[in-house]
């Protein structure tokens, strides 16, 4: 239950709290400003004085950003309490903060942190209150991965935008800036002040299993422009942007969550390809950069992952590129960083390499004590910790957290998921939908000639807060345009029975729309599409994730790419199919031929269009 308005205290500065005042709270009555005036922020000497008053244990805690399960800081559900005890050794976020004094907490959907806007805001406020109530209490830097498209931790009713590759297809830096500005404002209203976005990787490998559509594309200069624009958008809204994954995760066929990728680019190729968007992000003043758990022998021949590499993080990122902002690791629970060293060594080596924030280690107790013991044993100096703690505090001060870390119900209602924001998302999505094939001008479909439409295909797990599986969303959107539609999910690996059912359902309809999701040469999705083409019913295919699917399906008469299966992109595709909008997207990556990958089928910049009927 939210406290009554009369019970809510006015704000007080955290610097005053650290001098002996205990912060109280719940929901502040003072609206949070999008950006604090520089005159209101503590100066460098005040921050250094604050660091000098901290105990070693408090300094160690400031370096960690942890997951915690539950929708409430103090009263999560019993199942989340049990999971917290099993994984973290504490019951709640409150106990995590009291025991380890963590400087950051990351929100995840699967950790049940993001059920709804007012719940998220209350969780954020609860976390801040618990932290500020500690001796010398400091606010927590709350973060999440809100990339949009395929990765979004905060779902509807928050505004959901097209993801990075879709924005790459749109090619508009102004749209990228708008996504950052609006998305940042909504995150800030929820108490989330650091977003692990935008992805700055240049996706030049179609087989990349971990980046793919999370990247803006394969042209480094185009990616750089969009990265810089989105960084500026987020940070204009008072949210720290995070460019990732340094030094570049775009050319790998291995997922660093489960393996240890090796990038074989030469130093020269890295400099002209992978480094370009990171240089642009740094010029744009990006607040934080996330490391990659990848090996790049041309940059560091030791065999260490970049996250643990002093030559890469200090020698290149700090000294060569001149970056002095916050460096955060990718999750330390990922296999890519755990392959060579144990969980007790990883956080220590990351700090020695030049990292400031240690993100989500598998065991906070092991990692926290490892850093503490490394200082006691002389492997790390307290002065080295002070450098990173100071960077953390500088960012907290810049974001206004030291002045007022709280958010309000009114701010949520006035900012999150507004009609204006949703309309902007719809307009951006229309500019990203890409038409790759349109034989005999099949598109747009006519409600007079093709009134009955069957929608079939892949229904992968939906991102947060969607209106349903892709087939349902597409069918509903086409119905709203005047078509009579039927939806039939066949999944990402349709069975023979499911394929037969889809073929039977195609009898008597005027057109079929099929969604594809990462089609392979021998997979049953290809069989499904080929069987539907053989019926002779006009067929429109939509690649709802990677645009490379079109290469596997040469007989399809019309093919669109949406780059993700979120509602906003699927609704835009439906408007293009039904003639309510024209396709304007251009491929941000090249699509190679399936029978000869050395040859390009559709180059970067390819995209058809037509006039709306």
CA dist 67 and 93 (Å) reads 9
Nearest partner of 186 among 420, 415, 406, 465, judged by Cα: 415
- The widest CA-to-CA distance across the chain, in whole angstroms, is 79
Please state whether 53 falls in left (phi above 0), alpha (psi between -120 and 50) or beta. Answer: alpha
Question: How many degrees, rounded to 5, is the angle at CA 281 between CA 317 and CA 212?
Answer: 95
Question: How many degrees, rounded to 5, is the angle at CA 449 between CA 446 and CA 455?
Answer: 70
**Does residue 332 contact residue 359 with C-beta atoms inside 8 Å?**
yes
The burial of 7, by beta-carbon neighbours within 10 Å (0-12 exposed, 13-18 middle, 19 or more buried), is given as exposed
Nearest partner of 485 among 502, 467, 509, 503, judged by Cα: 509
CA dist 159 and 168 (Å) reads 19
For 100, 303, 310, 370, the CA distances from 373, given in Å and listed in that order, are 14, 25, 21, 5
Hey, is 487 helix, strand or coil?
strand
| 292 sits in which H/E element | none
Please say whether the dihedral angle defined by the alpha carbons of residues 46, 48, 52 and 57, taken in this order, is positive or negative.
positive
**Does residue 544 contact residue 515 with C-beta atoms inside 8 Å?**
yes
Catalytic residues: 257, 330
Please say whether the dihedral angle defined by the alpha carbons of residues 569, 573, 574 and 576, taken in this order, is positive or negative.
positive
């Amino acid at each position: 239950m939210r406290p009554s308005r009369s019970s809510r205290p006015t704000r007080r500065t955290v610097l005053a709290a650290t001098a002996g005042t205990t912060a109280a709270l719940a929901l502040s009555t003072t609206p949070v400003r999008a950006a604090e005036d520089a005159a209101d922020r503590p100066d460098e000497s005040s921050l250094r004085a604050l660091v000098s008053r901290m105990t070693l244990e408090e300094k160690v805690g400031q370096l960690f950003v942890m997951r915690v399960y539950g929708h409430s800081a103090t009263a999560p559900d019993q199942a989340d309490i049990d999971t917290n005890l099993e994984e973290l050794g504490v019951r709640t976020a409150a106990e995590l903060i009291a025991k380890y004094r963590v400087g950051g907490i990351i929100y995840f959907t699967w950790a049940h942190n993001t059920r709804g806007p007012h719940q998220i805001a209350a969780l954020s406020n609860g976390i801040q209150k618990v932290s500020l109530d500690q001796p010398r209490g400091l606010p927590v830097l709350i973060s999440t991965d809100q990339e949009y498209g395929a990765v979004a931790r905060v779902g509807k009713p928050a505004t959901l935008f097209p993801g990075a590759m879709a924005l790459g297809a749109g090619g508009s830096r102004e749209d990228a800036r708008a996504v950052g500005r609006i998305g940042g404002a909504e995150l800030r209203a929820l108490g989330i002040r650091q977003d692990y976005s935008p992805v700055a990787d240049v996706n030049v490998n179609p087989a990349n299993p971990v980046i793919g559509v999370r990247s803006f594309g394969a042209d480094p200069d185009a990616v750089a422009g969009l990265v810089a624009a989105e960084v500026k958008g987020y940070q204009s809204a008072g949210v720290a942007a995070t460019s990732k994954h340094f030094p570049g995760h775009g050319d790998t066929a291995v997922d660093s969550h489960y393996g240890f990728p090796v990038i074989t680019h030469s130093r020269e190729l890295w400099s002209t390809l992978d480094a370009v968007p990171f240089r642009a992000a740094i010029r744009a003043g990006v607040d934080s950069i996330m490391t990659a758990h990848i090996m790049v022998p041309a940059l560091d021949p030791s065999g260490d992952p970049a996250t643990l590499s002093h030559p890469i993080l200090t020698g290149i990122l700090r000294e060569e590129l001149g970056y002095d902002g916050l460096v955060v690791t990718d999750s330390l629970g990922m296999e890519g960083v755990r392959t060579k060293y144990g969980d007790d060594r990883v956080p220590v080596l990351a700090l020695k390499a030049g990292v400031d924030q240690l993100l989500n280690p598998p065991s906070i107790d092991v990692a926290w004590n490892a850093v503490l013991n490394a200082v006691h044993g002389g492997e790390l100096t307290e002065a080295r910790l002070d450098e990173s703690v100071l960077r953390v505090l500088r960012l907290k001060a810049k974001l206004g957290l030291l002045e007022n870390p709280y958010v309000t119900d009114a701010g949520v209602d006035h900012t999150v998921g507004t009609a204006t924001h949703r309309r902007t998302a719809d307009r951006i999505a229309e500019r990203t939908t890409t038409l790759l094939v349109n034989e005999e001008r099949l598109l747009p479909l006519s409600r007079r000639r093709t009134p009955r439409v069957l929608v079939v295909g892949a229904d992968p797990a939906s991102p947060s807060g969607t209106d349903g599986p892709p087939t349902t969303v597409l069918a509903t959107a086409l119905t709203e345009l005047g078509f009579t539609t039927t939806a039939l999910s066949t999944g990402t690996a349709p069975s023979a029975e499911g394929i037969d059912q889809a073929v039977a359902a195609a009898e008597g309809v005027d057109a079929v729309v099929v969604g594809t999701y990462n089609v392979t040469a021998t997979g049953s999705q290809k069989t499904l599409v080929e069987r539907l083409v053989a019926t002779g019913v006009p067929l429109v295919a939509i690649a709802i994730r990677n645009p490379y699917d079109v290469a596997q399906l040469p007989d399809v008469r019309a093919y669109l790419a949406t780059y993700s299966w979120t509602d906003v992109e699927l609704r835009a595709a439906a408007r293009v199919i039904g003639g309510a909008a024209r396709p304007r997207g251009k491929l941000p990556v090249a699509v190679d031929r399936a029978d000869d990958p050395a040859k390009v089928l559709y180059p970067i910049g390819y995209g058809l269009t037509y006039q709306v009927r």
